Structure 1
Amino acid sequence: MNRYHVAVLLLSAATVSLLTGSALAQQSSDMKSMPGMHMGPEAAPSDSATGKLGDLDISGGYVRAMLPGQPVGGGYITIHNSGKAADKLTSVTSSAAGKVELHEMKMDGEIMKMREIKDGIAIPAGATVTLAPNTMHMMFKQVKTPFKKGGAVPVMLMFEKAGMIDLTLPVVSAKGN
């Protein structure tokens, strides 16, 4: 695959994520009525995945349905570390995707930029870290079958100290509802 195709895929993924997530850019009154263009935190679905691993409480786990032609999927989760020592989410794997990367989206001036977080995500002692739309998130690549609302996606979260936990994330609407 040449650089042009890679750039187009990355731009497509960022655009789809922006269109299906909450916008970080300034919201106009027109945007309020557009599906997927709401501001503010997105509530996790009531049937979201939860789990406990040592001092880590995991909640709010879900993925969004993929739009037709969308090459990647997004996953979200909240991790609370009630312990006295920091931990780190080092990797995520899934039998539903060839690869799962940890990503971060940030505004750089007026441009939303996405990058892979290769060193993992720190979970400080006593802190809560949320992977949510348009911030840190799980990026499912080489998806075997597009995620469809009502389905489920198995994941294995690997932590530096606590070890690993298997969860099944429900698939919600592409709009996040």
Structure 2
Amino acid sequence: MAADVAVKTPYARATAPGQPNSAVFMQINNQGEATRLVNASSSAAKVVELHAHTQDQGVMRMRQIDAIELPANSQVELAPGGLHIMLIGLEAPLQDGSQIDMTLEFDDGTSEQLDVPVQMVMPAGMGHGQPMSHGKMH
């Protein structure tokens, strides 16, 4: 694990059956020198990419980025509508209440293994209201 980097509250977005992609969010606290998150991997998906949302002529677009900057003594938020880790080609639907594995790799060669809980997340811009139910009743 990177000496001064701590990952807080990681979670993956639950998916409906047949939905091929998901995203992972978290807070990364860096108490030391500036570093960068340069790669992530998980057995839950065929491809894992670092992504950012950018404004392109007034439209929000997702794009893959090479790294997520972690400035010295900072907290970086990976959240819906912003920086996130994309899971592409899921091996199975991500069910609320389950968890997936993830490895984060930093530019100093260190890595951190995470167990990431899967949670229902309202899509950005959906506002408040009742989430749609796609499955078993509790």
TM-score normalised to the size of structure 2?
A: 0.83
> Retained in 2: the 8 A contact 1:72–1:141?
yes
Q: Does 1:103 align with 2:103?
A: no
Match of 1:153 in 2: 100
Match of 1:67 in 2: 16
CA-to-partner distance for each residue in 1:68-88, whole Å, 9 max, x for gaps?
4322001001111111x2111
Residue 10 of structure 2 aligns with an amino acid whose one-letter code is G
Q: What secondary structure does 2:8 align onto?
A: strand
Q: Name the count of aligned residue pairs.
A: 124
Q: What secondary structure does 2:72 align onto?
A: coil
Residue 37 of structure 2 aligns with an amino acid whose one-letter code is L
Q: Does 1:170 align with 2:117?
A: yes
Q: How far did residue 66 of structure 1 move?
A: 0.8
Ranked by relative contact order (alpha carbons within 8 Å, sequence separation 6 or more), the top structure is 2
Q: How far did residue 161 of structure 1 move?
A: 1.6
CA-to-partner distance for each residue in 1:30-82, whole Å, 9 max, x for gaps?
xxxxxxxxxxxxxxxxxxxxxx6410111020001013432200100111111
TM-score normalised to the size of structure 1?
A: 0.65
Q: What secondary structure does 1:153 align onto?
A: strand
Matched-pair identity in %: 35
Q: What secondary structure does 1:115 align onto?
A: strand
* Larger helix proportion of the pair: 1
4+ aligned runs moved over 3 Å, structure 1:
none
- Structure 2 segments unaligned to the other structure (5+ residues): 124-130, 132-138
